Chain A
Amino acid sequence: MTNPKSAYSVSSKKQKSDTHIIVVWVDNETGVLARVVGLFSGRGYNIESLAVAEIDAKRNISRITIVTTGTPQVIDQIKLQLKKLVPVHKVADFKRNDKSVLFKEMALFKVVGNSNNIKKAINACKKYNAVILDKTKKSNVIQITALRREIDIMAKNLKKFGLVSVSRTGAVAMTRGDKVFN
């Protein structure tokens, strides 16, 4: 009976976790990001990536895109808890493997080395909408937009061509077609 020695119950069996993209429309006011992020840390939810920016200057609305993992129950709680926050207008939730939604992340790669290696690096990036943002004899800054996993792979592969610095954004999302989330 004394096992476990605790005033609390033991955790029950674990459910399968899925990756979700949560999009939150909020009033762009002081502390709003702290409220959203604090809710995640306070309740033990996980944030894989985060992207925030004002999208409507007139109505003062920001859009926060959060990539998170959790069981269906946790994902539901995240949405419902977010909706309770006063500055939150609406909350959308997409599964990462949802085909009707576009997900994109952007990354900047700085490659330093000889022209041959730089060329190889640019070639490798080509299928991800590569844009050369800065160019010197010894270096290049390449911008790509791709999925998280693709950027992970690129960051690994470019090492051999002289990748010295990576900077990347969180994911942003948008539905395909003419549908708008309400």
Chain B
Amino acid sequence: MSKIYSGAEIVFKCLEDQGVEFIFGYPGGAVLPIYDELKNHNSIKHILVRHEQGAGHAAEGYARSSGKPGVVLVTSGPGATNVVTALTDAYMDSVPLVCISGQVPTHLIGTDAFQECDTTGITRPCTKHNWLVKDIKDLSKTLHEAFKVATTGRPGPVLVDIPKDIQFAKTSYSKPKDKKKLNGKSLNYFSQKNIEELIDLMNKSKKPIIYSGGGVINSGPEASEVLRELVELTGFPITSTLQGLGAYPGDDNQFLGMLGMHGTYEANNAMHDCDLLINIGARFDDRITGKIDEFSPKSKKVHIDIDPSSINKIIKVDLALVGDVKDVLKGINKTLKKKNINLKKSNKQKIAKWWEQIQKWRTKNSLDFKNSDVTIKPQHAVQRLYEITKDKDTFITTEVGQHQMWAAQHYKFNKPNRWMTSGGLGTMGYGLPAAVGVQIAHPKKLVIDIAGEASVLMTMQEMSTAVQYNLPIKIFILNNQYMGMVRQWQELLHEKNYSESYSEALPDFIKMAEAYGCKGIKADKPDELDEKIKEMVEFDGPVIFDCRVDPNENCFPMIPSGKPHNQMILGPSEKKENKITGKGKALV
């Protein structure tokens, strides 16, 4: 007869067999048996957060930067409800998370017991799947299944709710089954014929563009390599979504920068005017497309995605290749190399005019801003941070808002998995706990959270976690004393009625850093910036950097709501140019 284990032991046996090294969690009444068992399992380290949302985001940071699923352990009731934001965030951005939650004992379910909530009911719309384990015999099977669902196909969060009596109950343990069938949910559906159709479109195209997204990152580092090979083989220009940054080198000449609402002028205009649009692992998000009716009106559209429901969801496409990006791109490259040996040469001529046009757009220098030697411009701060840290294989996380867009615009990523940001859900407070998770996965690397002062206060308590585990994360706060993006929209759309967007009574971040037991640095003036950034980078321990920036700076360029890609607002300098030409005309 096989050995008998308690539910709590089975949880750990499953985690061990799944190769889990870290759990992010917070104890409570309904998970105490699991916490009691923790001491017997040395290969698994528990990271104690200060709020369950932090556990979720830390697990997201861990997962995104390492490619492994993040594991979260929380108690019933408030423990579970606190993690809902992080689960939703992971669901929107396709991050594999396995959340284990405690539940009141089975005989108390439905009685409004202490710290009871309908966890599976609450998390149903924000997980790929969830389970309430009502029978100890199902526990090991369910946990293995949970890891499989989270990591296969389009990744995402799952939740397993385990009542307390199940954690005590005993049964035998079953090992994970060999990876055979993927439940029919994640197979590659594309065919060689599809690939040949795509290559035919590529050969005919005179104005092609590749638009890559987070799917390339999720498909693994190899996918980024084959993407680079494809771009090199074809000579096509490439732009990337917020989530896709790093899949293609940010400083390469064929890279047009990020596209979308705050994307570059050249990327958005190229999207609008192209005759062939190849979407690789992106989902035509509304921050990307702008006005749907006028989105890339003249192009044939190709969509490569692992999730069949992403195809034709927002933009109707002419050709869809459903499959893992890595496999699809490999197939394309192989066929390209076999059939079009001189592709690079022949393409170069064909799309030379297109590149000329793109160069013209580039001369607009749409990311430009007016620098100052009195106040620190936030864009300048990010640029300096990039210059000082670019040779260090730096990992960047962000919160949500203007600083996030400036980071995306001015920090250039050369490798995948180096950029962790909340794109789909736009969760303020994501960056600090995410940095904790990234640093756990990469203890020797430089991890910086480019933050806003409003966002970072939402999950500031996780600094305690960083201090407890000696995680030398750097919180680089672009402090403009406003919820900057809210203020920007109020300026542009609501007649400068800055309703509730000013942060009164901000804490002294240096004292705050000291209170947490880490280092605080403040920079007010542009000429001290470099030196202070270096001080931050060189300090061996967590740092909160209060970078006081111009409070009135807006994030440009920008596609206003309801406008197509070719009607961007450039920076304030453009407005002046326009005014001058207007006056000039009147004079003539």
Show the binding face of A for B, using Cβ within 8 Å: 1-10, 12-13, 30-31, 34-35, 38, 42, 73, 76-77, 80-81, 83-86
Contacts and interface: CB of A to CB of B under 8 A. Distances in A.
Contacts of B563: 1
A5 B311 CA distance: 30
Q: How large is the interface on B (under 10, 10 to 19, 20 to 34, 35 or more residues)?
A: 20 to 34
A77 B132 CA distance: 28
Contact of A6 (B183, B311, B313, B562): B562
Interface string B216-260: 000000000000000000000000000000000000000000000
Contacts of A34: 121, 124
Contacts of A9: 286, 289-292, 561-562
B493 interface: yes
B183 A86 contact: yes
B182 to A, nearest CB: 11
Nearest to B121: A34
A6 B125 contact: no
22 contacts: A1-B560, A1-B563, A3-B562, A4-B562, A5-B494, A6-B562, A7-B561, A8-B561, A10-B291, A30-B132, A31-B120, A31-B124, A34-B124, A35-B124, A38-B125, A42-B125, A80-B308, A83-B309, A84-B128, A84-B307, A84-B308, A86-B149
Most A-side CB within 10 Å, residue of B120, B183, B309, B312: B309
Nearest to A81: B309
Interface string B280-311: 00000010011111000000000000011101
A96 B308 CA distance: 25
Interface string B483-494: 000000100111
Contacts of A80: 308-309, 311, 313
B293 A13 contact: yes
Nearest to A10: B562
A83 B308 contact: yes
Contacts of B170: none
A76 B291 CA distance: 22
Contacts of B390: none
B185 interface: yes
B68 interface: no
A34 B129 CA distance: 12
A13 B293 CA distance: 9
Interface string B173-192: 00000000001010000000
B559 to A, nearest CB: 10
Given A30-B134, A31-B121, 13 more contacts: A1-B560, A1-B563, A3-B562, A6-B561, A9-B292, A31-B124, A31-B132, A42-B125, A73-B316, A83-B185, A83-B309, A85-B129, A86-B129
